Homo-oligomer: A and B are copies of this chain.
Amino acid sequence: MNYSDLVEQIFAKKSFLCVGLDTDIQKIPQFLMGEEDPIFAFNKGIIDATAEFAVAFKPNLAFYEESFAYGLMSLKKTVDYIHQKYPEILVIADAKRGDIGNTSERYAKAMFSTLKADAVTVAPYMGMDSVEPFLKYNGKWVILLALTSNKGAEDFELMEDANGEMLFEKVLKTSQQWADENKMMYVVGATQAEMLADIRKIVPNHFLLVPGVGAQGGSLEKVAEYGMNDNCGLIVNSSRGIIYADTGRYYAEAAKEEAFLLQQRMLVLLEKIDR
């Protein structure tokens, strides 16, 4: 999927919602536990219920890795299902991978060729050659960590150099030499909404993947106020707030309702863009 496909989808669906598939086997409704693959069955319910309101699905690798080979099979089935049934929707493998070049090559192959994700989150600590192997795939995206939504973001991401430039700003600037907005997006936490204005000065055209709305306490309207550009430029993720809106038999209906409510707020925000 390329940049303009994504923009088109956003304005067609009037949504920039990403549904995070952080599927926890311990939170899956009891009635699904008899299924051959409860994780996949749960995801299928969420996907079918929310697809009309979402432009992206973001499975979080950790939740699948927890049950190891079994979990990865559920994940693969989930991604295949999305591609088959909703080919317009972006699949983001939230993996936070990154290693020396010859190792990142393997991670890129795992995420793009094997899993067939459209985008993968990558950690920038090890620099250019840890990111480049992910950039070699046509029509795929790297979503680089910049400013995250957690408390620990303060430990290193906000470190300042002698000119007052912070680490996450250096990541934004340096990485633009590696790829432009057609191949790269950035993770910027919603709990840091005010900082989005400064971030937009550095990356005016890039898409920003914004987690932290909902369970982590970020505000959608603030994110839009500070972070939106003429192409929207935002993908806002909600995981727990949607997929565990209800943990009983009607979990999918509850997820749909939550996704719909977010999409309705996004519709209002998108109408402010003059196209």
Kindly list chain B residues whose C-beta atoms are within 8 Å of the C-beta of A130.
150, 152
Chain B's closest residue to A240 (CB) is B102
Copies, count: 2
0/1 interface trace, chain A 67-100, chain B, CB 8 Å (1 if under):
1111011001000000000000000001011111
Interface pair B129/A152, CB less than 8 Å apart: yes
- Asked if A181 lies at the interface with its beta carbon under 8 angstroms from chain B, I say no
Interface size band for A: 35 or more
Interface pair B62/A69, CB less than 8 Å apart: no
- Asked if A101 lies at the interface with its beta carbon under 8 angstroms from chain B, I say yes
Kindly list chain B residues whose C-beta atoms are within 8 Å of the C-beta of A67.
114
B-binding segment of A43-51, A120-128, A198-206: A120-128
Chain B's closest residue to A110 (CB) is B65
Given A129-B151, A130-B150, A174-B156, does the pair A104, B68 have CB atoms closer than 8 Å? Answer: no
Considering residues A22, A73, A106, A115, which has the most beta carbons from chain B within 10 angstroms of its beta carbon? A106
Q: Which A147-173 residues have a C-beta within 8 angstroms of B?
A: 148-157, 159-162, 167, 170-171
Given A69-B69, A148-B126, A150-B129, does the pair A62, B104 have CB atoms closer than 8 Å? Answer: yes
Given A68-B76, A70-B69, A161-B160, does the pair A126, B99 have CB atoms closer than 8 Å? Answer: no
Given A159-B161, A162-B160, A167-B167, does the pair A106, B152 have CB atoms closer than 8 Å? Answer: no
Q: How far is the CA of A189 from the CA of B100 in the complex (A)?
A: 11
> A residues touching B (Cβ–Cβ < 8 Å)?
22, 60, 62-63, 65-70, 72-73, 76, 94, 96-101, 103-107, 109-110, 114-115, 123-131, 145, 148-157, 159-162, 167, 170-171, 174, 211, 216
